[in-house]
Amino acid sequence: MKKLTYIFVGIAVILGVYFLFSTTEEYYIPKPEALLKINLPDSNSTFHAIDNFTFSHSNSAVVLSDDNVNYSIYYPDYDVKIKFYHALSLNLEVDRFYFEKEMNSHINQSYDYAEVPIENKELNIYGILYFLEGVDVATSASFFINDNIENIVSGNIEFSTSIDYQILPQNRIMKMEVLKFIESFRWIEIDE
C-alpha cells in the first residue's frame, strides 16, 4: 500500500510540475490594420472669381486669401491646401525658368514625375503641370499658368505633413483636384 501511495504522490508531483511550469504558447492572431475612412470631396463645384481669372472648386473646400496675391483652396477633411498666387510678370520666360529651376530640386527628391503641358490657344491659357511621386517630397503637384502676355498663376499642393504611405489616397485625390482646378481655369477679359 505504501508503494501505491508513493506512486500516486509521484504522479501528482510530476503532473503538478508539468502544469505549473508548462510552456505552452498561446496562439496569437494579430489584428489587421484599420482601413482609413476617406470622405471624397463633394462632386458639386462652385465657381470662384479672383482678380482676372475664374476657377471651380469642390463645395467641400473653402477659398482663403492671405493677401491680394496669395490664395489657397483649403480641404478641411484632408487638412490640405492647393496654394497659388497671381502676379504680373515683366518677363514670362524668366519666371517660367525660375519655376522650372525650383521644380528640378523637387524632381531630384522624387522617384518619378510626369510633366503635363497646358495649352489652350482659344482661352489663352499656357503653362505646365508637374505630378511628382515619392515619399517625403515637399509637394506632389505644381503648376504654372500664364496668358502669354503678363499674368501668371502658379501653385502647388501643400499637406500639413510630409507625403508618406499613410496619406497616399488623399494625395491621389488632391492631384485630381488640381487637375480639375486647371481644367476649369479661365481668364476674365478686362476691358481697358
Q: In what order do the strands lie in the sheet with 70-75?
A: 62-65, 70-75, 80-88, 151-159, 141-146, 125-133, 112-120
Domain residues for the domain of 69 are 49-187
Beta strands in 29-79 (DSSP E): 45-50, 53-58, 62-65, 70-75
Asked, for residue 86, whether it belongs to a domain, the answer is yes
pLDDT band at residue 23 using 50, 70 and 90 as cut-offs = low
Phi first, then psi: what are they for 123, rounded to 5°?
Answer: -95, 0
Asked, for residue 29, whether it belongs to a domain, the answer is no
Asked, for residue 137, whether it belongs to a domain, the answer is yes
**Does residue 134 or residue 27 have the better pLDDT?**
134
The total number of structural domains that make up the chain: 1
Asked, for residue 20, whether it belongs to a domain, the answer is no
Average pLDDT, stretch 95-110? Answer: 89
pTM here? 0.76
Q: Looking at residue 95, what is its pLDDT?
A: 92
Share of the chain above pLDDT 90, in %: 45
Asked, for residue 145, whether it belongs to a domain, the answer is yes
